[in-house]
Structure 1
Amino acid sequence: MPEDTTPAANHPQGETLAALKAVLDAPWDAPLHIVSSSAQLAEGMTQKLPLWEDRGWIEVDGATYTRALVNQLRQRCAITTFRTPRSGGEKDTMLAARDHAVASYVQSPPQHVPPRVTKSFDLSGAKMSTLTQALAYRGIRASATATERRTTNKHLSEIRACLAPRKGPVQDGEIWSEIRHADIRRVITDFLWKSIHGAYRIGSYWKNIPGYEERAKCRLCGVTESMAHILTECAALERWLIWGYVERAWTRTGRAWSMPSWPSILAAGQATPARTNGKPPRDNAVRLWRILLTEAAYLIWCMRCERVIRHEDEAAWQHDERSVAGRWYLSTNRRLRLDIESTHSRFGRLALKRQIVLDTWHQLVWDVQALPDDWTSVRWVLVGIDPTIVNNAGPGS
């Protein structure tokens, strides 16, 4: 009666690995009775196995070794059983075996158990009658091999370095998750995702295309263009003015302003504004910062594309101050209106709490003293961003 002989025997994958080792070591024509500390292994080999195979083993934890165990069991010509211990003596034997495994693990390196599979006994693929589009998509994603992208790794490294002083070590998965933050509009999430990957055709992309090398340079600054240059360095009027509007809006909260860096824009989902008098920002301040930051970055990118692509034949063309002010004012008002609409009861549990909206936008709403305490229920034409924010605004003005 083989017992589990790995330190992780109480873990489902440890039990699977121990069972596979027992099956590989036992003669194919000898009865084999596997006693496990839990019923999970037995349930997997009996009740769950048909479902796993119908799904093509998609999203099954430890599928490699579980699949190998099933493959080896099907090759046996003698009975194999799975059960939990039935007596105190069996439990004591299992505890002693586990203690022995732990001691052996410390004294000598563990042995590798190969997930050996015989093709003639391997049931591959998923059952069409049970396969859904979502499941097939997840299966394709799981089987795809991720390629290393130097630009992506460089940007992720910059983001981690930016967040480390305030948040400590940050995993890449957290960065990808936070750009999908609920406070960030979907179109801006796509913009941030592509920016981290360097997917936009700007700058060095054009250097290797004969006849288009001049597109690699910024027409205003004469340097190689990049998303970091477009958003934080370019001399374009729209970049200078939009960050000025954001500064004016932000300082109305009474908090200190610092010009966002390129990594902090990419990490907008996790980035937080600088401390004021050593005090961390409140949740509503963080939310406003996240919204202003992402909306401004995306607007700068959109207006840059209009200037460079739509007016490609006009080298000296730029947006005028009035149009930039109007575009920022309109986009910020639309974002405010989106928040207000999100509080509607028709969204049920997904509805945004009214107090969150009130706390986020209170300092920016025009003539808020003349509005009722809950201005989210007022007709939207009466609620908007204070237009004085865009009057002669610029960084440091």
Structure 2
Amino acid sequence: MLEHIKIQSLDDFFTDLSERSSKGVFFYKINGYSEQICQFVKKYYNAARISGVIIEGRIPNPDKDNLEYYNEIMGMDFQLNIEFITASLRKWLPRMSAYQNSAVSSAIYKILNDLGKSGKNENMLKNAYIKFMCWLYYKFERILSQLGDNKVPKILYEGTASYYELLLLSVLSGAGCDIVLLQYKNDSTSQIPDTSTVLPDELKVSGMAGFPEYFSLKWLRDEIQNDMDIERLYGRKPSVVNCTNAWIEGKGLDDFKKEIHARGSDPQFFYNCYVRINGVEDKLSYMNELYQFQMELKNSHRRIVIIDAPLPGPSTDEISQIKRGNYKTCKQMLAGLSGNIKYTANAGLQSIMVKSFVDVILEESKQEGITLNRLSNRAVYLLCWLKRYQGQLFANWKIPDISCFIYMGG
């Protein structure tokens, strides 16, 4: 049996067995919600989907057919000793290796022995044993063959688990599975005395509150599918992403002038700023300050576009150059319109442009009452402006170059 250990961070759940501080597994319950918890559950869901089991609602009790088949193969004998359980598992689940058989039989024996010590009679222990055996065969056989692997199999349980379900989860934890219980309302583990088995630890992070009404694994699947759809819209994934404003000091024009290499050094980011300045500190000197600002930017060899008038709308000719179709959904529209973003001189820059375009329009689509036609018009305008200014802003662009777009009076 593997040791039941505690995490130091949420990332620990996704470490291989050989990378853990001690050879053990994690068994946690989540009774509250935060954005960090949401992102963790999404990642854990994907891990369990690939190499584990996801349970939504109660595990069905063995039905008549299940019990008849079990009786036909195994009979109804029961003995509370490790030799009997080991031999029974070898016959009932023959695909398990010797190590896996030993891990599961030891975990079952420990739970049943603890139950016996707590006052359960032999008939109750036998019923629990048969229920465990049926559940292992019909629901968890997929992960039993992964026990002992370096990549630890994962179980995600949604809802309020029954008493015997919690006992089985304790068996699987002891046998070598990571387990997370999502408990939206009631803490089901309160029904088990601490002395009877291993109970899950409670996962706590800062800012947790009650689960929102909409949250469920079904909702999470929809979110994951939406994320996958958006990834497809991006096409080629950019090698770098923007780190906007996180590095600035709030000094306005001085932040713009800050050397690119002094803004940050993480190679997965380019460091830019997006700032709106209302008013001036000194009416008498600000024109000179703007002139000096422009000269410093030019001397640093950064590409600059300055618009000192209302931003001209796209011309009829510019709009006619945007290839469009008939769209039924926002994502369909984005898939079609993003094909207008071409920058053959630098495929990496093109992928950044596409991602930015998709993100902006998706954010616009969240506005209440906006129609697909209006959204399409905004997207076309954005593409026209991008085509108009990209030559001035991005000629010979390379990482970590940062151009400047300055809109006066906007």
Q: Name the TM-score class by shorter chain.
A: under 0.3
Greater fraction helix: 1
Greater relative contact order (Cα < 8 A, sep 6+): 2
Normalised TM-score (structure 2): 0.27
